[in-house]
Structure 1
Amino acid sequence: MPYALASTRHAERVRGAVEGRLPAPSDSPRLVSSWQRSFERYQLDPGSVIGPRVLSAAELREIRDREESFLRASGQCLTRLHDMVREADYCVMLTDAHGVTIDYRLDRERRNDFKHAGLYIGSCWSESEEGTCGIANVLTDLAPITVHKTDHFRAAFTTLTCSAAPIFAPGGELIGVLDASAVQSPDNRESQRIVNQLVRQSATLIEDGYFLHRLASCWILFGHQNRNYVEAQPELLIAFDENGNVVAANRRARECMPCLDGPRQIDEIFDSSHVQLRDIGRIETIAALRLRANGAILYARIRA
């Protein structure tokens, strides 16, 4: 189908869905809401075939300098994720909290193809500018998503498939988005299930790496329900100061332990009457700690 005709048909489909005359994309309420905002609030043209805005080198340098610690914490994870998806012809992008691509990984021989599609460092993916896309939806809804081909609002991106996930700071605020995108992929959106899962896992690794970097001056408890995973893949991270005040906890810890929502002392969370938590850190051992809330056992080591 000629490109101009395809863009016209896509624009008609979007308008029809927003107006209720045609089926909505993928039966997803999130995508429907995004299409409506893109069309009604931001008055974007769904037939547009122009790529995203790209910042100048000076503008990008200023943002990257500001995000230096975030970039340092994410670099290895970006490379590892790209190694896992490169054979399927994906690039990997990291954005800041405003949707600006501040780092990326791709195969150099495909550089021009990705750049032509807008998948390039310095590209801007806010919903107000580009409408429905993976990064924009994560920025808006703060939840992972796959936006597949014609799920995109603008015709320029209807060949792309994008799986994206949020990355949060220790305080819970959004600091960026991790995205894996392909220029060409199978039409069946189920083909993106594994990539979506890999992106979500990698976003969590970046989040935890940033947590450890930002809170390097604190005592850190690394925990897991299985003793064998405490060293290799700890799920729970809790930072506390010299006085035992809990300073921060990673997302998984907050999900598993509602008691972390408010200011707490570390000794109010764990029954440590039989062992001093700081002593665990000094001897670098793994200890079984009992949660006061429900009596469950958590295996942990502590970094001084």
Structure 2
Amino acid sequence: MKIDLDQILSLAGDLEQEDSRKRFQSFLVESAKDDDSIREMAAQAQNRPDLQHCLALQDLVWSLGAPLGFEPSLQFGGLWKSPSGVHFLLEMVAEEQSLNLGALVGRVESLVSISAAATQDEGVGEAEVAEKGEKGVEEREVGELEDEELSALGLLVVQDSEILRVEDAIIEGDEEGQVRTISISALLSLARIVKDYHLIHEDVLLLLLTSGPSVDPIIDLISRVISQCEAETPTLEEIAQILGPLGRGSESTPEEALQDMIDQSQYYAFGNRGAGRRQMKL
């Protein structure tokens, strides 16, 4: 069933209003279980410049983290939390919008600092419990928490036409490699690939972490390889013709038809009761 984004937005209300925005985000959290609908709505919102659709697209991108294996969070304006401890701070970039990479990097560093402080607070609480009788085990857990270090990156999600401009800006201004960028189309392609080819979260994380400033080239390469493989795969109709009965009413005998297929580097398969099986001498 086709998902009509405009109809959903009319039910959610004006997304500039906090209650309406929360209502829409709650809907997306539930809909993320069916990422086809999320991708369909994002495609509908992608080229709509009005504020309502821009806010909707921002929330749709945020919710796409779920099918990619992240936990979407509204902290810091929207981020994806990986079970591995890597967090991606999301920021949408509109067409011709000026970039402030310094501010984004500052938010990333703040995220790391605040999370580290929270971890230390947890450690203090556990130490107090340890003093009450579980000191040995609890102290080891506190030590493990203190040794953990959150890794955070900024992820700029941009319109397709802006990807090269944003990539150049990152190359020039992000000396520490703390920022990545991905186009909306590439993000939608990645979500489709994850679902159709059963990629796991670690695969997604590897793509995002090991790519250059832009994730688009690797997603584009994977998509082209998949398209080529799909083009070379016979359709159901072609397979049905290949697997059709031989030797009954055809112009050639089963042996001749099979030899013709072999000469053309094709294949023929038949079951225990396939037509022509008894006449074949293999």
TM-score, normalised relative to structure 2: 0.25
Higher percent of residues as helix: 2
TM-score, with length taken from structure 1: 0.24
Structure (1 or 2) with the greater strand fraction: 1
Larger radius of gyration: 2
